[in-house]
């Protein structure tokens, strides 16, 4: 498969939270897109408290190795519904997002900047496909200087009023387990992939394996899975669904070495 992937034309599809972004750094958990807002001093205390309560309730369901995806989806919809309503109540200003990101402890996986620079200079289209929040994710990519013109973000984006106050979300909800249904939002990315049938896909959730559903066939898709927690309970399923499984690896070394092979 590597030989096929190393053929001339290729593309990259990457999840964001806990895939491009690190899980921990110096012994401390790093923030996700939602975490940046959930812990921001710019958000009101009622929001921070409730968002963290919801995370404590629903994240264990998201990663529960014993539940099926079908069983999890109603809980995920409940989680997004509640958190989205809560964010709207906070009247977040568009201008505050950059400050929230700068004040957070979000970090990209070690070597992500190098990999993204390499993909930019070699003109490889990169799709960042996230069930997080697009407006925050874009700020993170800008913060780390990797939001170049070969990168397309598909995620949940905010709707603003004419004063730049967030009043809701655009388009259909993307959650962890419907990444296959949302390929429509990224059709121009998938158009760019015509003739580029060798794809590297990276994710940390089993739902991420479906991110390439819109890729024109026939294609060779190499799936790299970051298994970040509940390792023993989830390893077997990850081994079945991804081609390569990296356990608690906070780097981009494997993807970078594959991209290096393509040169």
Q: Does 16 bind ligand TMP (CB under 6 A)?
A: yes
Q: Does 17 bind Mg ion (CB under 5 A)?
A: yes
Q: How far apart are CA 215 and CA 191, in angstroms?
A: 9
Sign, Cα dihedral of 161, 163, 166, 170: positive
Q: Are 64 and 96 in contact (CB under 8 A)?
A: no
Task: Of 82, 84, 100, 194, give the one whose Cα is nearest residue 138.
Answer: 100
Contact residue for ligand TMP among 55, 61, 67, 244 (CB under 6 A)? 55
Size of the site for ligand TMP (CB under 6 A): 18
Q: How far apart are CA 169 and CA 206, in angstroms?
A: 25
Count CB atoms within 10 A of the CB of residue 251.
14
Contact residue for ligand TMP among 108, 176, 183, 222 (CB under 6 A)? 176
Structure tokens at 104: 């957070």
24 preceded by a cis bond (ω within 30 of 0)? no
Site string for ligand TMP, 217-256 (x = CB under 6 A): ----------------------------------------
Of 14-22, 97-105, 186-194, 223-231, the window that binds ligand TMP (rule: CB under 6 A) is 14-22
- Name which of ligand TMP, Mg ion, none residue 79 binds, using a CB cut-off of 5 to 8 Å depending on partner kind: ligand TMP
Least distance to ligand TMP from the beta carbon of 176, Å?
A: 5
Q: Does 34 bind ligand TMP (CB under 6 A)?
A: yes
Task: Tell which positions 108-147 bind ligand TMP, by CB under 6 A.
Answer: 130-132
Q: How far apart are CA 245 and CA 126, in angstroms?
A: 21
Least distance to ligand TMP from the beta carbon of 82, Å?
A: 8
Please tell me the number of Cα atoms within 13 Å of 63 on its side-chain side.
17
Q: How far apart are CA 172 and CA 188, in angstroms?
A: 17
Of 3-11, 14-22, 37-45, 250-258, the window that binds Mg ion (rule: CB under 5 A) is 14-22
Active site positions, annotated = 15, 17
Residues near ligand TMP (CB under 6 A) are: 15-18, 32, 34-35, 54-55, 62, 79-80, 83, 130-132, 176, 205
């Amino acid at each position: 498969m590597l030989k096929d992937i190393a053929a001339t034309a290729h593309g990259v599809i990457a999840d964001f939270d806990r895939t491009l972004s690190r899980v921990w750094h110096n012994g401390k958990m790093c923030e996700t897109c939602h975490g940046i807002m959930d812990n921001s001093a710019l958000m009101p205390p009622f929001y921070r408290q409730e968002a963290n309560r919801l995370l404590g309730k629903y994240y264990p369901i998201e990663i529960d190795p014993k539940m099926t995806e079908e069983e999890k989806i109603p809980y995920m919809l409940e989680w997004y519904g509640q958190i989205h309503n809560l964010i709207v109540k906070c009247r977040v200003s568009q201008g505050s997002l950059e400050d929230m990101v700068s004040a957070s402890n979000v970090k990209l996986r070690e070597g992500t900047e190098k990999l993204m620079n390499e993909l930019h200079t070699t003109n490889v289209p990169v799709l960042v496909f996230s069930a997080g929040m697009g407006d925050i994710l874009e700020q993170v990519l800008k913060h780390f200087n990797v939001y170049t013109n070969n990168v397309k973000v598909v995620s949940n984006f905010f709707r603003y009023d004419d004063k730049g106050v967030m009043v809701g979300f655009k388009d259909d909800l993307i959650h962890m387990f419907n990444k296959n249904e949302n390929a429509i939002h990224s059709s121009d990315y998938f158009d760019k992939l015509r003739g580029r049938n060798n794809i590297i896909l990276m994710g940390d959730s089993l739902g991420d394996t479906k991110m390439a559903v819109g890729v024109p066939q026939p294609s060779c898709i190499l799936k790299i899975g970051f298994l970040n927690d509940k390792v023993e309970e989830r390893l077997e399923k990850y081994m079945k669904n991804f081609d390569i499984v990296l356990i608690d690896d906070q780097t981009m070394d494997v993807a970078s070495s594959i991209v290096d092979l393509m040169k």
